Structure 1
Amino acid sequence: MKTDSQNPVDPSPQGESSTQFSSTRKLPQGFWATFTTTFATIVLAEMGDKTQLATLLISAESGQPWIVFCGAAIALIATSLIGVLLGWWLAKRVSPQAMDMAAGIILLFVSILLLGDVVQM
């Protein structure tokens, strides 16, 4: 089986329709592309969030920034590991289309809840 020009998610020969899951999205290939995409996405998403603010406050109160850094780093590694393992498990069992649909439904539900909170204010 030739794999260098094929999508590793869809091992069917080119031109054939596959019964396995396939995605039309182009994912980054290679170590550095995947690493850079992941790093940039997480850094941008985490800037100014409640975890960063909690770490800032704990560091300021404790006066021991390196211990706070180590504790926060290990906590973020643990939560990231849970997310990676859950994503890996789901990718084996659920099609990308079903994942997109579920994500859309969850985001819609959360948006409706947030809108309800805003209206009640």
Structure 2
Amino acid sequence: MKIYSAPLSLVASTFKSPSENFDVAIAPDKPKDARPQTATNKSSSTGAVFSSTFITIFLAELGDKTQLSTLLMSAESQAPGVVFLGAATALITTSLLGVILGRWIASRLAPKTVEIAAGVSLLFISGMLLLDIIAA
């Protein structure tokens, strides 16, 4: 079921602008207070960013192959706590790499360029997943 919903999920996330939930990075030559104060800027609190990120990642990872692998390792192991720590550490590490890479890209490209590139990439991946489903 998750495999069939993946292309739809990717397409839906393609058309949702990141600036709808988060402050968009400002160009390096503009001071932070040069940003116009809008309702979006004021409402983008740490809690809102945290909860949005948590819900998005939680739903995306629910039932995926990583979770199934963790489930199998825990079932075969006599130490489920160690399996949890290993899986949690791996997820934290990959998330940290994503944050670092995302920050690096955001410092070098305009937000609109990143948004368009992400949209094109997600549409391409969605198309490939859809072709796999049709071919199966």
TM-score (norm 1): 0.74
Determine the C-alpha separation between the residues in 1 that align with 2:109 and 2:84.
Answer: 36
- The Cα of 1:111 is off from its aligned counterpart by 2.4
The structure 1 residue matched to 2:99, chosen from 84, 93, 107, is 84
Stretches of structure 1 that go unaligned for 5 or more consecutive residues are: 1-6, 15-23
Matched, 1:120 2:132: no
Shift of 1:13: 6.1
- The gaps in structure 2 that reach 5 residues or longer are 1-22, 27-31
Q: How many residues align?
A: 105
1:56 matched to 2:71? The reply is yes
Residue 72 in structure 1 maps to residue 99 in structure 2: no
- Is 2:123 aligned against 1:108? yes
Which structure has more RCO (C-alpha within 8 Å, separation ≥ 6)? 2
More helix by share: 2
Matched, 1:36 2:51: yes
1:8, 1:109 → 2: CA distance? 24
Once the two structures are TM-superposed, the CA of residue 30 in structure 1 deviates from its matched residue by: 2.5
Q: Are the equivalent residues in 1 in contact too, given 2:25–2:106 (CA < 8 A)?
A: no
Percent identity for Structure 1 against Structure 2: 50
Kept after mapping to 1: 8 A contact 2:24/2:111: no
